[in-house]
């Protein structure tokens, strides 16, 4: 079974924090359909997408990817 990581974000404090959970719900459903097993989740709340460096969630995802902690992200599924 493919080990899957999920990442969700929203860019400013005017958006709902529920947005991240909504995104995770969609990705979980997709991973389940495709036979993936969620092994980790990452998020960035109210942080601009303009820079990867300023987002701790994406930085953690990239570090874990380099360490081989998951095989794919939900976005990798068809």
Structure tokens at 15: 């958006």
pLDDT digits (tens, 9 = 90+) for 24-63: 999 999 999 999 999 999 999 888 777 788 899 999 999 9
More reliable by pLDDT, 1 or 67:
67
Q: What is the DSSP secondary-structure string of 13-67?
A: TTS-THHHHHHHHHHHHHHHHHTEEEEEEEEEES--TT-STT-HHHHHHHHHHHT
CA atoms within 13 A on the CB side of 42: 19
**Could you give all domains of the chain from N- to C-terminal order, each with its CATH number?**
2-76 (3.40.50.1390)
Q: Which residues share a beta bridge with 36?
A: 2
Reduced DSSP (H G I as helix, E B as strand, rest coil) percent helix, strand, coil of the chain, to 5 = 40, 25, 35
């Amino acid at each position: 079974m493919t080990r899957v990581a999920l990442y969700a974000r929203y860019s400013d404090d005017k958006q709902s924090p529920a947005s991240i959970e909504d995104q995770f719900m969609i990705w979980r459903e997709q991973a389940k359909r495709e036979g993936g097993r969620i092994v980790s989740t990452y998020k960035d709340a109210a942080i601009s997408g303009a820079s990867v460096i300023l987002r701790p969630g994406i930085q953690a995802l990239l570090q874990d990817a380099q360490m081989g902690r998951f095989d794919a992200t939900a976005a990798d599924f068809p």
